[in-house]
């Protein structure tokens, strides 16, 4: 349930930023990357629960899922998690749930089989945008 | 109305909160691999615990983690409501990427290693600690830069073997630390073979040049490898290596 910690971290960070800028938070857009395999409904629910009683209480929370984009730095092939879903075991999925970068420990480029690749998009939960009324 | 692309890494604030109840963050550095940082880090955390301190060990050597092995820690950390609960072994809270990777290779390009470090620091619920020992990776890249700017009271011990290869790299690290907002606790000579006489020249010269204490000269001790094989911190703490380290570092740890 580390989703709870991450969502609390988002609420705190946005609250601090709004306080520093002296503005009211109108909306927050959150991306939920597919590599961490979070339940997007859970993230949405946590955001709406945890914003209560904070400076984000009246803010609109927009939660979007984000596809992964992984690029091989050896052959240039770009792929996503879905293409690799078959060979990844449930144990490997579990460790990626905590540390998405461990995709590198669990798979290889589908084209050249090298381990030399980088996650460009869709790793975990992130703040895409905050809109303030200042 | 003002709209802005946040670019806001909320993990930084999480890390600040996680470490708010940690009195001291001690980086064990050398710049170079193979000088015994991981064993020194594990032993320091273990010694701190035997001194009655609440100790943690963060394995920041993401590519080549060994803290879990040194403590015999296995399996995923427990997920609590407030984050990941590090396993406690020999009284030390231990966190390492290897609790997740479980011996798998960890080939990471670009910012991957630093991302893992930030994620672990953001998620780990250390609770209250007197001392968090950080086993640093070799090199002076992103991880070192992240950890040396973790907070403004970070301290560092620079470990070096007496030879010129080790001291030359330790020199670069000390140069980086100097004026970089990190308090250098001192230089620790490690794996000193035979009589310390004459072998202390390299570490002592470094300490004198940078005007930091020479914390001690820890002997090369064959029994360390046996203790490491056992994956048991108590066995490591019984070695001559650990007893010497304890004499060198107890006053600092207690302060």
DSSP 8-state symbol, B76: P
Q: Which helix or strand (DSSP H or E) is residue B79 part of?
A: strand B78-80
Nearest to B66 by CA among B250, B192, B225, B237: B225
Nearest to A82 by CA among A117, A114, A107: A107
pLDDT tens per residue, range B111-143: 999 999 999 999 999 999 999 999 999 988 999
Nearest-neighbour CA in chain B from A130: distance (Å):
6
φ, ψ dihedrals at B38, nearest 5°: -65, -40
Q: How confident is the model at residue B198 (pLDDT cuts 50, 70, 90)?
A: low
pTM recorded for the entire structure: 0.95
Contact A99 B112 (CB under 8 A): no
Alpha-carbon span B65 to B70, nearest angstrom: 10
B155-160/B83-85 β-pairing: unpaired
Q: How confident is the model at residue A69 (pLDDT cuts 50, 70, 90)?
A: very high
Nearest-neighbour CA in chain B from A76: distance (Å):
14
User: ipTM of this complex > 0.90?
Assistant: yes
Give chain A's contact residues with B (Cβ, < 8 Å). Answer: 1-2, 4-6, 9-10, 12-14, 16-17, 21, 23, 26, 73, 94-95, 98-102, 104-106, 115-119, 123-124, 127-134
Q: Hey, where are the domains in chain B?
A: 11-254
B84 vs A contacts (CB less than 8 Å): 2, 98
Which residues pair with residue B189 across a beta bridge?
B160, B217
Give chain B's contact residues with A (Cβ, < 8 Å). Answer: 1-6, 8, 10-14, 17, 76, 79-84, 97, 100-102, 104-110, 112-113, 115-116, 119-120, 122-123, 125
CATH hierarchy code of domain B11-254: 3.40.50.300
**Contact of B59 with B68, CB cutoff 8 Å:** yes
A13 vs B contacts (CB less than 8 Å): 8, 10, 12-13
- Of A73, A99, A132, which is closest to B116 when you measure between CB atoms? A99
B108 vs A contacts (CB less than 8 Å): 101, 104
For residue B1, pLDDT beyond 60: no
Structure-block tokens of residue A116: 């030399």
CA angle B132, B135, B138 (to 5 degrees): 150
Query: What pLDDT is attached to residue B130?
Result: 98
Alpha-carbon span B41 to B118, nearest angstrom: 20
For residue A130, pLDDT beyond 90: yes
- Domains of chain A with CATH codes: 2-67+122-133 (3.30.2320.50), 69-120 (no CATH)
């Amino acid at each position: 349930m580390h989703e709870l910690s991450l969502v609390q971290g988002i609420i705190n960070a946005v609250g601090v930023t709004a306080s520093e800028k002296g503005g009211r938070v109108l909306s927050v857009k959150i991306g939920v990357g597919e590599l961490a395999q979070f339940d997007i409904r859970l993230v949405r629910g946590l955001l709406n629960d945890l914003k209560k009683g904070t400076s984000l209480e009246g803010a609109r929370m927009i939660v979007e899922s984000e596809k992964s984009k992984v690029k091989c730095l050896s052959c240039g092939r770009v792929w996503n998690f879905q293409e690799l879903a078959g060979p990844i075991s449930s144990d490997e999925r579990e460790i990626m749930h905590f540390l998405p970068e461990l995709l590198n420990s669990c798979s290889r480029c589908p084209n050249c089989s090298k381990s030399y690749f980088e996650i460009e998009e869709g790793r975990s939960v992130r703040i895409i945008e905050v809109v303030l009324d200042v | 109305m003002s709209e802005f692309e946040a670019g806001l890494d909320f993990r930084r604030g999480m890390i600040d909160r996680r470490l708010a109840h940690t009195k001291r963050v001690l980086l064990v550095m050398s710049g170079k691999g193979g000088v015994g940082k991981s064993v020194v880090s594990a032993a320091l955390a273990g010694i701190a615990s035997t001194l009655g301190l609440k100790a943690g060990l963060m394995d920041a050597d993401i590519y080549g983690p060994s803290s879990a092995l040194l403590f015999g820690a296995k399996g995923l950390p427990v997920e609590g409501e407030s984050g990941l609960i590090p396993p406690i072994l020999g009284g030390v809270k231990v966190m390492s990427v290897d609790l997740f990777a479980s011996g798998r290779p960890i080939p990471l390009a670009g910012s991957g290693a630093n991302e893992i470090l930030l994620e672990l620091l953001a998620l780990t619920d250390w609770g209250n600690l007197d001392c968090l020992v950080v086993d640093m990776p070799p090199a002076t890249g992103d991880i070192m830069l992240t950890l040396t700017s973790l907070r403004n009271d970070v301290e560092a011990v620079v470990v070096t073997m007496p030879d010129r290869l080790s001291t030359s790299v330790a020199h670069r690290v000390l140069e980086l630390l100097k004026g970089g907002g990190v308090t250098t606790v001192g230089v620790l000579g490690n794996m000193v073979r035979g009589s310390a006489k004459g072998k202390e020249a390299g570490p002592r010269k470094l300490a004198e040049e940078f005007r930091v204490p020479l914390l001690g000269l820890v002997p090369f001790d064959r029994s360390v490898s046996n203790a490491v094989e056992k994956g048991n911190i108590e066995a490591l703490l019984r070695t001559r290596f650990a007893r010497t380290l304890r004499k060198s570092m107890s006053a600092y740890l207690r302060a």
